[in-house]
Amino acid sequence: MSDIALLPLQAASALIHSRRTSSVDLVRACLDRIARHDRELGAFITLTAESALAEAKRADADLANGVDRGPLHGIPVALKDLYDTAGLRTTGGSRIFADRVPERDSAVVEKLRAAGAVFLGKLNLHEWALGVTNQNPHFGPACNPWDTTRIPGGSSGGSAIAVASGFCYLSPGSDTGGSIRIPASLCGVAGLKPTYGRVSLRGVIPLAWTLDHSGPLARTVGDLALALNAMAGHDPLDPSSVDVASEDYTAGLEVEDGAKDVRVIVPTNFFFDDVDPEVDAAVREGARVLTSIGASVTEMALPRVDLLTAQRVILLTDAAATHREHLRERAADVGADVLTRLRTGQTFTGVDYAQARRDRDELRREWLAVLREHDIILSPTTLIAAPPRDGQDAVAAAQRLTTNTAPFNLTGLPALSIPCGFTRGGLPIGLQLAAGPWREGLLLRVARAYEHATPWHERLPLA
């Protein structure tokens, strides 16, 4: 029974639609793995086993009666616990919101319900999504399923653990400085941050309004495409949503020459500075693989990387504004590390913030010019593999995890992480691919071509 919980979403969907298994079977298989492993891993804040089984029974009955809502029909999904869910608490990983029960679903949850997904519960995250270790002082630490002495990454750590461990087939996460791609990299799964404005943020607890992105974590690139089909689309009720047409992201995904003639940049500055040698070797081998399947790979320097410091000013200032009432009235209930970051955000001046916004616009203009002549920027997702959960080294290492991911929040450009190897110690290594705005289809196609040429996405922990 548990083996089906380890399938990619696409394969599980095929089994449901061919009636070789049922949604109830999938839910029970996921719940079995959660019961066996989550006490050690700490992925869930709220598990909704009973309601998930009831939803699965309805999904099976609908299919039997000819009602098919698509590829996600009957698929068990778990949510990072900052997506509002009507009637079910949404904590943001915070003690302050421990008993907060929204009256309405977030836009993404509405879309996933309409697509037939079954919800298993809410997943652990770094408090308020402001951190990358996912060592939550209020709901317990989350642990890397490849080595529980190491962090899973964050802030969507529970999502990456759940996907990697067979607890669910898909998890929507959020990404403000790398919070989808970092845990995807450290836990050996696929994670996509779409273009800013592609997926609605309505009903998602905010961290930094101008940098937040919603996107999926899943086992494979094909699964990401199915998820994005369900999640993407303009939302007139969300001021960050942009009215740009979506597409069928699965169309053309399985073509044999998906990377042919794609123009790839490997940056000679910034993105490989201070990179771990094992990560460097795996990522450069990833570039060689893309060359072998038809991509054109060029090494070149990216312009104005000196402006990337604007990310920190914007993120922390936005976060301090978002949580100004909590800082004023409930500061004692905020975890020490998050409180320090929020207090830092209060120290920046309006002049600092205005200059950072201007620097961001300048950087984006320069990079868009580069991406008119090239298609993809290739880099390590993180400079290191998963660092230890405890000790002084953990703090220092965590500061290096957002180096390569944050630039694509600052510019709003789409980026994804896929597995590209393992360290000698058995820890996953992530390959990051980024593209011009609204080019998620290209990103997914190139990443899928890489998957077809390599075995890394097939490895699973706890199997």
Mind telling me the catalytic residues? 80, 155, 179
Burial class, 388, CB count within 10 angstroms (exposed 0-12 / middle 13-18 / buried 19+): middle
Residues 264 and 287: beta-carbon distance below 8 Å: yes
User: Measured between alpha carbons, how far is 102 from 91 in angstroms, rounded to an integer?
Assistant: 10
Assess contact for 60 and 22: CB atoms under 8 A: yes
To which residue do tokens 């548990």 refer?
2
Distance CA 199, CA 108 (A): 8
Whether the Cβ atoms of residue 143 and residue 150 lie closer than 8 Å to each other:
yes
Tell me which amino acid residue 225 is. A
Closest CA to 210 of 383, 412, 34: 412
Instruction: Pull the structure tokens for residue 143.
Output: 């642990």
CB 85 within 8 A of CB 79: yes
Q: How far apart are CA 450 and CA 455, in angstroms?
A: 9
Q: Pull the structure tokens for residue 10.
A: 């696409």
Burial class (CB in 10 A: 0-12, 13-18, 19+), 351: exposed
The answer to whether 422 touches 231, Cβ cutoff 8 Å, is: no
The answer to whether the beta carbons of residues 43 and 165 sit under 8 Å apart is: yes
Distance of CA 331 to the CA centre of its chain: 28
Residue with tokens 């369900």: 230
At position 31, the amino acid (one-letter code) is L
d(CA 189, CA 207): 24
